[in-house]
Amino acid sequence: MPSTRVDNDTFIHRARRAQLIDTAIGVIADVGADRASISQIAERAGITRGVVTYHFRDRRSLFAAVVAHVYGLAHDALGDRVHSAASPRESLRTFIVGSLEFYAEHSVEMVALSAIYRTADMPRAEQGEHRSELTDVEEILVDGIRSGDFRDHDPAIMAATIRSALDAALVRVRAGTDIDHEGSELWSLFDGATRGQVRVR
C-alpha cells in the first residue's frame, strides 16, 4: 500500500497541474494562444516559471493538457447521455443539442480550445481528441444506417458537416444566441438530412 506521503505528493501534484491548466485556459482566452507564454501563466498563478516547467516541459505540452482537459469535460457532460440514448437518432440529437449546451456552460474553455487549434503547431485536424470525436459521430451514423433510423449516406461526410455546423454555432453561442432555438434549428436540419424517405404505398 502506498504511504500517506506518496498519496499526498500525488494529490498535490495533480492539484497543481489542474491549477496550471485552469490558469492557462484563462490566459489563453484573454490574450490568445500565440501570445500566452509560460511566464504569463506562471505570473497569473502566482508561482515561478520553473514550477510550470516542472509539471509541463514546455508550452506545447501544457496546451496539449488543456485540450485533453476540455475534451474530458465534454465527455463527462455528454458521453453517458449519448451512449445510453434509446436509438442512434436520439444519440445524434443528444450530441448536437448537448454540444451547444456545453459551449454555453464552458465558454471560456471553448475560447481557449479554439485559440489553441488556430496555432500553427497544434492544428485541430492532427489532434487525436478531434479525430476521436469525429469517429464517435460516424459510429452513431453507421449504427443508424444499419438500424434504419438514418438513410444511406457517407458517415464521414455527414460527421464532418455536423462538426462544421457546430463550429459555426459556437460563434453564435459566444455572441449570446438563444441556445434552445439554436439547438432546435440545428437538430431539425440534421434530422431532415439523415432521415430516410417515407415510402408511399
> Cell numbers at residue 81, please?
447521455
Domain extent for 43: 4-194
Is residue 199 assigned to a domain?
no
Q: Are 24 and 7 in contact (CB under 8 A)?
A: no
Is residue 162 assigned to a domain?
yes
Is residue 75 assigned to a domain?
yes
Under the banding of pLDDT at 50, 70 and 90, the label for residue 121 is confident
Q: Are 109 and 68 in contact (CB under 8 A)?
A: no
CA nearest neighbour of 195 among 153, 165, 156? 153
Q: Domain holding 125: CATH number?
A: 1.10.357.10
The whole-number average pLDDT for the span 149-170 is: 97
Question: What confidence score (pLDDT) does residue 6 get?
Answer: 46
pTM, rounded to two decimals: 0.88
Domain count, the chain: 1
The whole-number average pLDDT for the span 86-108 is: 97
Q: Are 142 and 159 in contact (CB under 8 A)?
A: no
Is residue 201 assigned to a domain?
no
Q: Are 141 and 155 in contact (CB under 8 A)?
A: yes
200 or 159: which carries more pLDDT confidence? 159
Residue 145 confidence (pLDDT) above 50: yes
CA nearest neighbour of 140 among 80, 91, 194? 91
Question: What confidence score (pLDDT) does residue 197 get?
Answer: 58
